[in-house]
Amino acid sequence: MVAAFAWCDRSKLTLALFPRRLLVFVVGLFLVVPTLSRYGLASANTSWASLPTLLWFEWCRQMGARVPMLTFVLAGTALVAVGVIATVTVLLLTV
């Protein structure tokens, strides 16, 4: 991506394009989640912790969209619950 910007339009290649906060957060996730899982303290596979979701969330913030964290987490939790129930139901119906 950086090479494409540097080749096509170097003037638009700025540090603002680099998601610094997200990078720090993702590195933290990759350090904390395995540690918590090792000691049985976390179920790490929640939708709000997935990388694409975090990228979307950071993009919304950069574009000025206000996404309240509580709403974001609650919506993700509800979607996980619905997804798990739907998946288990389909699996039980096909067995």
DSSP states along 71-85: HHHHHHHHHHHHHHH
pLDDT tens digits, one per residue of 74-91: 888 898 899 989 999 999
How do the domains of the chain map onto residue ranges?
A: 2-67
pTM: 0.45
Residue with tokens 């720090």: 24
Which residue ranges in the chain fall short of pLDDT 70? 1, 41-49
Give the pair of three-digit tokens for residue 61. Answer: 């913030």
